[in-house]
Structure 1
């Protein structure tokens, strides 16, 4: 609590010192406000007239949220009143005196709009839809946001409009997320936000149990061309779950509010993958139904690897040299059925079922040579033919209810969600000696079930016109089970039997969470916005193994404060944020299965892991300078009980390294993200971004003679990229993207960096019912190499992974059906849920919310 008070005092003092430089008019953000402080409006007599209207984009017919509205006295040419449009573009000026005025509407990326109005005493003037035009249509000057707003920074989030991306078409969600500022996605699909993989990922504001297992695998199920936007929230408010130290990523898929029947067909074929998707919708009157399906196959995915590993156990030095040739293929699918119905004018019901399937197989030939004190040990040298399967099926069922009230922005919602993920992670291996003889077979069976039920209720109500109060409660019932066993067989015909020297058994892990929160937003007359809140979460743990009985993991509670503040000064938007986050361990980190698919690199989870706690600090500056939009963020993270990978030599398997997960101690991260978007012309847009992060990790691991020793590692993580898009006549368009990621600091070494690039063109037919596209990636490079080095007092490991990812794909779309426009209605809010940390291999976590900080919504 003392720390939270200190942050509030610090922010308040900073804002007070900045007050003389405040701009006259609001530049973005929040609820409808009255008179402009510091202008003639403070002294102008008030009347009883009223002006209202809605700001609308002249091209898209969509509302323009948070546009600035000023009322200028035509006699004095001075502002007498002003306000800001809300999130629906609506604005109202009350208590206006009679007279002649000029109503001026401005917003970044649009031409200013001026309307002459004359008011009589007591008149209520409704201007209806006030159309404003994009400034991208100007011949002599172009603003960056006029470029169909590829990147948008809103009051509470950064938004990447993925539907403008033509190179990702035919790919999956990972291809899209690679181009989102603040995010990094490696070649396996693992996602990081500002260098942290401890993030929450939502799909249309909904969690899924598959994300708890692996974000990388979940992203493969989402087709790129079905993603509309990606929202990045780095400082969530108390309203949203406290999980995810890095922040929230919300993937919004394409929806519509149209009447009638439609069917979209999307397809693509390439040398490394193909896809086909069908999405249909029918809406009439108060109800609507959507039905969709998507399937994607990947093939010709080839990898090669090499490993040099030295370990010292009981005074014996063992050198392991290993080479591997592998390939992988997979089938991914996602199918959904949705239903919404307006029970009444102010009540709506939403229901949905989503099923996802993932069948991923990997084949690899590993050749291993072991040297004891420099002498080749031919008995332990071998060849290993591996066939691994990663199979899962996920079902999510939601039912949501929303009740709105006559008072604007006042609403109450109840949301429910049931989610279940069945995951099988198995492998078979043939063991071949140095003479080429099949000496034995191994089989690892690992079945996991992760299921949860969530019930939450939220209520919000405005207090006057510049304040918002929100509060709510949430409960999650979660059960994770894992049944694992290791089998052996001799030769090529014997029956499998349990290997008594390998760990096996069953884990049952119950994790129930009760949470409540309260959040308050206040906007001052001088347009400072301050949003603060408190959230309390209590976690109840009941864990046990079939063989060992109960596991001593205690219940715990955490109080999570958050505070966000924003202000626009002379065109520069300043945001300050602080929040505390909790990160619970994920399924793969808890799973005690002894995975020895590669016997020289074994992984095993730890069911005794405790959650990690992170304090986040953030300062963000953004500004439009003529044709350039610049966003710069400076942040710091301090994490206690940090969950990370720890590696130690095996006492029983000669030359092997065992990787597990531990609460190692502290992790510090400080850095900056800089993003610039330049509208070169009205048809060409170029973007640049870079991430510079300094990480420090410290903790204790087992050293020589099993004595604990303190380990510290630090260094810079640097990444950056460039993208460009262009539109031409007759429906032609082109886009290019390139990215480079430097080495990643780990507790016991560094993981290697990588790079990739894509170029694509697209032709849209005149009736816009169909299109053809062609995209290529990494076509100048036969392969990319990821070099990693891990070391400690007991071992040293140098590995190389060679990625052969040249690719080309042809894509097409076709639309069937005729729809008519229907005004969008507010639908019931879905559960936002995420509280598990990924395994470090698969990225982030599940659940959460979609906005943090900023103005009242």
Structure 2
């Protein structure tokens, strides 16, 4: 019965797929069956061009009447239009556009087969006018949704966090934490790889990647067995700008504003078989001010109420940098080598000035304490990649070996100064030093073998060795100049190490059948061994090893009018790591102490998904509904300590369910104006399964978010773009995290034959300060917090390219390591961890 309950949602999806042909046929019979079909291929190679954009244009008015997107085999079908005379236009990035002669279609000739249509590779010459086909900002592919960030000019001067806020199905809070359909348990890859900096803290890693270097963001909601089993919410792949061009270029991009500035230089050199890339990007944030208010009510055992009021002004300064050196070499026609080294740094200094804490028992003031808090969050990281790829005469057959070494060094300290009535008299100081290091080494083998037409077998193996360390200590100093003395307590001063060894193997099979159906199924097995140790104490940290079988199943059907319906099921696991495990006690705010839990178990999630995509009259629409059931969900849990301090740690709660939907659309209203937007929503139901009324907790509610983007091309190479985003409050086990919104406007002008651009941007220009309200509710705690941030910003953007390139046809796909196996997150006000806050 338990197995039947797990499979029931997916059986319902299969039933919907089965009846869809009947429904589709009944709808089609009411209309004339006019259709145009064909296949798009690359000239000279006769290989298909997947996902090429096909538009049907009225020959008299020039208006876009209908359209389609080519499938993986390059085939397309245009339907849902009336009789008339038309032209077929086909375009794809990197190829010259195709325009057919006039085509007449009517009752005497309802169907037209265009056959194979060849597209020639498009030449690029930067010393002349650049000709580039404009792709849609959002693309829907068979297994993923793609946001083409390179077409969004409002992102100039921003970073990957700004890009993520524009992507359908993703939500980003004010601290940069990313979630997909309400789940923060996601895998984030960079060009198919994950480094230690991403594993340590996604929010900080995204701030190091300039928006100008991002080509696209790929959202994979139902990953196949090829991907690591972790990441219950799905996979996000950040694709940076690569090229297969010959020649040398230098690109300069910069931005200067009221609250942040950046400068980046990137150079490329490709001569013959060898290519080099060298780049660097630096970003500074300053003048970031805000406020903090907290109202905390605790019910004592005798029934009295303790009320704690806190307020402070906040200041933040930050500096981010990322530098890389890449190399690739074509050994021969079938063998290729790639290698890269990248360095990153992040320096953040957060201050709470005049943190006033007033404590009342009923209406009587007990204490009034004044503090200053200074938090330093610093890190540097290095990634080294080396990959070998072998292709074969047989198309799509490929073998690859990939390796990755990554290390992230972290410093996460704070000093808490307690004043004796006035800011001139320091009574005492508390200091916490937390030095951390995360190191990993990965080797991965992948083999792709097309065993027949439309049938592909993939299998591989992978091993990840990780070691995380945290050396933490607390010190107390008297007065302004008193020497700091370490606290002799292993709970406050200790060394913690955490070793994880993950060995995995997978097999995946893809097949097309019954003409319009596609199937992709796979099975992955992972075995995890973990050891943890406190050097200065004998705390019990024995963590058992475990093995997991992780199935995945994807099924799609292409309808007769070119639309598509897809269904998917997969099981995912989320191992706790880093932020959730670190036992360092974070007491930067003494009224809200937090600590990680080294004994957390992994959480297990079953995902069911059904989606429908359609294209009609220049508009793309996608509807998706899903159900996600998680057992052992890792959630923050708060209790009250003896001194009325709220203590936060992490536990595996009983169950978390999410019932959700998403709708997004991309509309081309004319050749100059486009509009796209999305709405995401889900109903969250959380329950820790406990019966004791003092500790039992449950919560439920709807969560909604939405975004809207508009682009308008003006005469003389001017472009105007606008963006807005809003997210409702998030449901947590013991309360809610506040919602927020933001918006921006950008105006850019291209010059010197489009080699350069200069523009002006404005962000949140009607709002002086955003205020985000959150609340916590338990049988003994009621808390309301308000965080304010002044993020109104005005900026000037500048870009310029130097050099000359010519296009060389691509001969292979790049392979790389993809580690996707850790639960990220924590809370900005108290998640003590090795590498955050």
TM tier relative to shorter chain:
0.7 to 0.9
Question: Quick one: distance in 2 between partners of 1:573 and 1:607?
Answer: 45
Residue pairs, 1:382-401, within 5 angstroms? 382-401=369-388
- The structural deviation recorded for 1:520 is 0.6
CA distance 1:675–1:12, change in 2 (3 Å): closer
Residue pairs, 1:423-822, within 5 angstroms? 423-436=410-423, 437-500=425-488, 503-546=492-535, 547-569=537-559, 570-651=561-642, 654-699=643-688, 709-822=695-808
Match of 1:46 in 2: none
CA distance 1:224–1:701, change in 2 (3 Å): farther
Question: Quick one: distance in 2 between partners of 1:85 and 1:399?
Answer: 34
Assess if the C-alpha contact under 8 Å between 2:577 and 2:824 holds in 1: yes
**TM-score, normalising length from structure 2?**
0.86
- The structural deviation recorded for 1:344 is 1.4
Question: Quick one: distance in 2 between partners of 1:364 and 1:578?
Answer: 46
Assess if the C-alpha contact under 8 Å between 1:147 and 1:683 holds in 2: no
Match of 2:84 in 1: none
Please state whether the residue corresponding to 2:610 is helix, strand or coil. strand
Please state whether the residue corresponding to 2:156 is helix, strand or coil. coil
Assess if the C-alpha contact under 8 Å between 1:297 and 1:332 holds in 2: yes
Please state whether the residue corresponding to 1:553 is helix, strand or coil. coil
CA distance 1:383–1:68, change in 2 (3 Å): closer
- In the alignment, structure 1 segments of 5+ residues that lack a partner are 25-37, 40-50, 70-83, 92-103, 117-125, 134-144, 845-857
Assess if the C-alpha contact under 8 Å between 1:67 and 1:105 holds in 2: no
Match of 2:835 in 1: none
- Aligned match for 1:403, one of 386, 390, 394: 390
Question: Quick one: distance in 2 between partners of 1:23 and 1:131?
Answer: 37
Please state whether the residue corresponding to 1:772 is helix, strand or coil. strand
CA distance 1:668–1:11, change in 2 (3 Å): closer
- The structural deviation recorded for 1:606 is 0.3
Match of 1:182 in 2: 169
Please state whether the residue corresponding to 2:193 is helix, strand or coil. coil
Match of 1:65 in 2: 50
Match of 2:205 in 1: 218
Match of 1:304 in 2: 291
Question: Quick one: distance in 1 between partners of 2:531 and 2:225?
Answer: 27
Question: Quick one: distance in 1 between partners of 2:757 and 2:257?
Answer: 17
Match of 1:362 in 2: 350
Assess if the C-alpha contact under 8 Å between 1:574 and 1:622 holds in 2: yes
Question: Quick one: distance in 1 between partners of 2:691 and 2:339?
Answer: 51
Question: Quick one: distance in 1 between partners of 2:828 and 2:198?
Answer: 9
CA distance 1:2–1:56, change in 2 (3 Å): farther
Match of 1:206 in 2: 193
CA distance 1:369–1:494, change in 2 (3 Å): same
Please state whether the residue corresponding to 2:476 is helix, strand or coil. strand
CA distance 1:583–1:758, change in 2 (3 Å): same
Question: Quick one: distance in 2 between partners of 1:558 and 1:708?
Answer: 35
- The structural deviation recorded for 1:19 is 3.8
- The structural deviation recorded for 1:85 is 7.4
Question: Quick one: distance in 2 between partners of 1:822 and 1:254?
Answer: 16
CA distance 1:201–1:628, change in 2 (3 Å): same
**In the alignment, structure 1 residue 339 sits paired with structure 2 residue 327:** yes
Please state whether the residue corresponding to 1:793 is helix, strand or coil. coil
Question: Quick one: distance in 2 between partners of 1:386 and 1:793?
Answer: 30
Q: How many residues align?
A: 767
- The structural deviation recorded for 1:778 is 0.6
Question: Quick one: distance in 1 between partners of 2:10 and 2:667?
Answer: 36
Please state whether the residue corresponding to 1:730 is helix, strand or coil. coil
Give CA-to-partner distance per residue, 1:516-560, whole Å, 9 cap, x none: 111111101422001111011111011111212551211111111
Question: Quick one: distance in 1 between partners of 2:398 and 2:686?
Answer: 44
Match of 1:18 in 2: 20
Please state whether the residue corresponding to 1:776 is helix, strand or coil. strand
Question: Quick one: distance in 1 between partners of 2:24 and 2:766?
Answer: 51
**In the alignment, structure 1 residue 412 sits paired with structure 2 residue 399:** yes
Give CA-to-partner distance per residue, 1:665-708, whole Å, 9 cap, x none: 100001111112222221011122111110011105797xxx86
Moved more, 731-740 or 820-829: 820-829
- In the alignment, structure 2 segments of 5+ residues that lack a partner are 27-32, 55-68, 77-86, 104-114, 123-131, 832-837
Give CA-to-partner distance per residue, 1:615-634, whole Å, 9 cap, x none: 00101111112132111110
**TM-score, normalising length from structure 1?**
0.85
Question: Quick one: distance in 2 between partners of 1:727 and 1:657?
Answer: 54
- The structural deviation recorded for 1:725 is 0.6
- The structural deviation recorded for 1:130 is 3.8
Assess if the C-alpha contact under 8 Å between 1:281 and 1:289 holds in 2: yes
Question: Quick one: distance in 1 between partners of 2:99 and 2:144?
Answer: 25
Assess if the C-alpha contact under 8 Å between 1:310 and 1:655 holds in 2: no
- The structural deviation recorded for 1:483 is 0.8
Give CA-to-partner distance per residue, 1:70-105, whole Å, 9 cap, x none: xxxxxxxxxxxxxx97859599xxxxxxxxxxxx98
**In the alignment, structure 1 residue 148 sits paired with structure 2 residue 135:** yes
Question: Quick one: distance in 2 between partners of 1:677 and 1:53?
Answer: 23
Assess if the C-alpha contact under 8 Å between 1:189 and 1:842 holds in 2: no
Question: Quick one: distance in 2 between partners of 1:739 and 1:451?
Answer: 36
Please state whether the residue corresponding to 2:700 is helix, strand or coil. strand
Moved more, 406-415 or 430-439: 430-439
